[in-house]
């Protein structure tokens, strides 16, 4: 039988506000454990939360970018559960009155455009981070645990979709597009490797064509686009195999094990939670003023879909436009074009060599040693004939290695092309004099020998002559 998967995704996005959600502690990643903490985010007796207004505004901004309605009256609730890295043993979250409801996001996947409904966008606080000692890092056979509360209280936005997604590829495309929007809004660094973006998914299968939904399984612990796609693919296959054998699907929570490449059932304790939500009495209701919402709406930056369309209009290939936006190259690209670079050429460098460099080093675009002006300079030098295509790659490598601007690198590495016609002309004349036989044979119709003569000139100039110019000068002289 053919099955159709029905997938909904919950995405947690860590916001990059300066301070935490309910206290003034810094949010920077990588600080010494338990240094970015205070009575509030440690849950000390007597401490009280005060909401971060910037985080609320950013959540509204994302909601607007996703076409959501912003609730005029919204509430924080307490979500009660005991966990060692949750300092108050309740999480301040939102329940039946989230900040934003009812939007959508259009994503492109193999099957075409999919409109994914957004159920809600809400705001909550992150937990601390446990490290289990011994026992392979797993809680049930660990010898002990260390808890770092630096992450405790970092603003965490949750974006929940309707069960509109049908394939792992669509899920990945959705996550990719959401990440691009978050980056465009500048509300999160969206670094997957630092856990700034985390995914949970609900997956069920039903015979293709059926309306009725199958039994839902929640898959947790997917921290990259790739693991999201892999986990869903595994889970769909697992469920399909069971259904084929006539076995029932258990409604459960399963954890994705990245190394094993499979989902494993969670412990039953975690499933039977009753979170006993009730309105957080330490906070007052959030009343969103419609004028403030309009201010946020009018300050929204260009969103990825519009940005891609604009890039295509500038002459960029559609596939390259997708990559530019996806890889967060908008700043570099727009800056280079504004500095006079040819759009298509700039796009090619970014989606080609520079993307390859990022993949190799694992860096982000913000870490790059080349800026928009440098990229424009590089493109310009090639256009002006100062750099050959081969030399340009060397120059880029030098720039990325921090050796200086493209012109500085080209000069210090002695890669500037000779495109002075009289200088090259003299070299051409000398080569033609030394190869009179070949010249005669060319004149006799053996055109392929032109290449040989070009090579001789290049050799004589140490590879610095512009080969197109050499070719033209030889042809002029032998004709």
Partner 1 sequence: MDPADLSIAEAGARLRSGDFTAVDLLAAVRRRASMTEAILHAYLTIDADGATAAAEAADAALSRGEDRGLLHGIPIAVKDNMVTRGVETTCSSRILSGYVPPYDATVVERLKAGGAVIVGKTNLDEFAMGSSTENSAYGTSRNPWDPDRVPGGSSGGSAAVVAVGSALGALGSDTGGSIRQPASLCGVVGMKPTYGLVSRYGLIAFASSLDQIGPITRTVGDSVIVFEAIAGHDPSDATSYRGDLPDARADLEKGVKGLRIGIVRELSGDGIQPGVAAAFQETLDRLRDAGAEVREVSLPSTEYALSAYYLIAPAECSANLARFDGVRYGPRIDGASVEEMMSATRRDGFGPEVTRRILLGTYALSAGYFDAFYGQAQKVRTLVSEDFKEAYAEVDVLVTPTSPTTAFAVGERADDPLAMYLSDICTIPSNLSGDPAISVPVGLDDDGLPVGFQVLAPALGEGVMFRVAAEVERLSGFDGRPALASSEGAA
Site of interaction with partner 1 (CB under 8 A): 39, 42-51, 78, 80, 82, 84, 87-90, 139-140, 145, 147, 269, 274, 276-278, 281-284
273 or 361: CB nearest partner 1 = 273
139 or 426: CB nearest partner 1 = 139
Structure tokens at 421: 């016609």
Structure tokens at 129: 């981070």
Task: Specify the 3-state DSSP secondary structure of 167.
Answer: coil
| CA neighbor of 12 nearest in space, from 195, 180, 170 | 195
Q: Shortest gap between Cβ of 87 and partner 1 (angstroms)?
A: 6
278 or 452: CB nearest partner 1 = 278
Q: Shortest gap between Cβ of 71 and partner 1 (angstroms)?
A: 19
Backbone angles phi, psi at 395, to 5 degrees: -60, -45
Q: Shortest gap between Cβ of 331 and partner 1 (angstroms)?
A: 36
CA atoms within 13 A on the CB side of 97: 15
Q: Shortest gap between Cβ of 332 and partner 1 (angstroms)?
A: 41
145 or 426: CB nearest partner 1 = 145
- Beta bridge mates, 220: 255
44 or 434: CB nearest partner 1 = 44
Q: Shortest gap between Cβ of 32 and partner 1 (angstroms)?
A: 17
Q: Shortest gap between Cβ of 278 and partner 1 (angstroms)?
A: 6
Q: Shortest gap between Cβ of 235 and partner 1 (angstroms)?
A: 27
Q: Shortest gap between Cβ of 127 and partner 1 (angstroms)?
A: 12
51 or 214: CB nearest partner 1 = 51
Task: Specify the 3-state DSSP secondary structure of 69.
Answer: strand
Q: Shortest gap between Cβ of 291 and partner 1 (angstroms)?
A: 20
Q: Is 324 exposed, middle or buried (CB count within 10 Å of its CB: 0-12, 13-18, 19+)?
A: buried
Task: Specify the 3-state DSSP secondary structure of 418.
Answer: strand
29 or 95: CB nearest partner 1 = 95
Residue in the block written with tokens 């060692």: 84
389: Cβ–Cβ under 8 A, 6 or more apart, which residues? 382
DSSP H or E stretch at residue 63: helix 53-65
Q: Shortest gap between Cβ of 42 and partner 1 (angstroms)?
A: 6
362: Cβ–Cβ under 8 A, 6 or more apart, which residues? 193
| CA neighbor of 470 nearest in space, from 433, 417, 413 | 417
277 or 477: CB nearest partner 1 = 277
Residue in the block written with tokens 């590829």: 169
22 or 311: CB nearest partner 1 = 22
11 or 52: CB nearest partner 1 = 52
CB 153 within 8 A of CB 34: no
245 or 269: CB nearest partner 1 = 269
DSSP-derived secondary structure for 188-231: ----GGGTSEEEEEEEEEEETT--S----EEEEEE-SHHHHHHH
Give the whole-angstrom CA distance, residue 112 versus residue 48. 49
CB atoms within 10 A of CB 45: 5
CA end-to-end distance (rounded Å), the chain: 72
8 or 49: CB nearest partner 1 = 49
CB atoms within 10 A of CB 122: 24
Q: Shortest gap between Cβ of 282 and partner 1 (angstroms)?
A: 5
CB 278 within 8 A of CB 77: yes
Region at 151 (left for phi over 0; alpha for psi -120 to 50; beta for the rest): alpha
CB atoms within 10 A of CB 271: 13
Q: Shortest gap between Cβ of 154 and partner 1 (angstroms)?
A: 18
74-102 exposure pattern, b = at least 16 Cβ within 10 A, e = fewer = bbbbbbbeeeebbbbebbbbbbebbbbbb
């Amino acid at each position: 039988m053919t099955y159709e998967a029905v997938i909904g995704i919950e995405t947690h996005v860590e916001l990059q506000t300066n301070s935490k959600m309910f206290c003034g502690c810094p949010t920077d990643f990588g600080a010494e454990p338990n240094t970015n903490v205070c009575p509030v985010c440690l849950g000390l007796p007597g401490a009280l939360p005060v909401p971060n207004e910037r985080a609320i505004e950013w959540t509204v901004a994302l909601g607007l970018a996703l076409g959501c309605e912003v609730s005029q009256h919204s509430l924080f609730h307490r979500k009660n559960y005991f966990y060692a890295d949750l300092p108050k043993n309740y999480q301040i979250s939102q329940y039946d009155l989230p900040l934003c409801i009812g939007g959508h996001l259009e994503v492109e996947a193999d099957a075409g455009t999919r409109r994914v409904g957004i159920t809600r966008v809400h705001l909550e606080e992150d937990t601390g981070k446990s490290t289990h000692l011994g026992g392979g890092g797993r809680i049930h056979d660990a010898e002990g645990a260390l808890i770092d509360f630096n992450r405790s209280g970092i603003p965490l936005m949750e974006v929940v979709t309707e069960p509109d997604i049908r394939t792992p590829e669509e899920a990945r495309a959705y996550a990719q597009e959401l990440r691009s929007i978050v980056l465009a809004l500048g509300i999160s660094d969206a670094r997957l490797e630092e856990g700034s973006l985390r995914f949970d998914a609900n997956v069920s299968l039903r015979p293709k064509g059926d309306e009725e939904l199958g039994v839902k399984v929640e898959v947790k612990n997917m921290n990259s686009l790739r693991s999201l796609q892999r986990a869903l693919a595994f889970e769909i296959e697992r469920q399909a195999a069971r259904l084929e054998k006539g076995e029932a699907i258990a409604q459960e929570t399963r954890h994705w094990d990245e190394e094993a490449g499979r989902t494993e059932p969670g412990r039953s304790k975690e499933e039977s939670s009753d979170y006993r939500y009730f309105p957080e009495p330490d906070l007052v209701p959030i009343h969103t003023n419609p004028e403030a919402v309009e201010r946020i709406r009018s300050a929204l930056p260009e969103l990825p879909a519009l940005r891609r369309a604009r890039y295509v209009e500038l002459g960029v290939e559609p596939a390259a436009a997708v990559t530019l936006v996806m890889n967060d190259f908008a700043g570099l690209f727009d800056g280079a074009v504004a500095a006079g670079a040819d759009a298509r050429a700039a796009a090619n460098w970014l989606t080609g060599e520079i993307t390859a460099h990022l993949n190799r080093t694992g860096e982000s675009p913000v870490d790059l040693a080349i800026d928009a002006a440098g990229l424009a300079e590089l493109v310009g030098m090639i256009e002006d004939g100062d750099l050959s295509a081969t030399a340009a790659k060397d120059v880029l490598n030098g720039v990325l290695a921090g050796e200086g601007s493209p012109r500085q690198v080209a000069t210090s590495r002695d890669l500037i092309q000779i495109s002075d016609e009289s200088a090259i002309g003299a070299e051409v004349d000398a080569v033609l004099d030394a190869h009179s036989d070949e010249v005669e044979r060319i004149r006799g119709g053996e055109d392929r020998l032109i290449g040989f003569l070009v090579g001789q000139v290049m050799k004589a100039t140490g590879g610095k002559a512009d080969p197109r110019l050499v070719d033209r000068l030889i042809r002029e002289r032998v004709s």
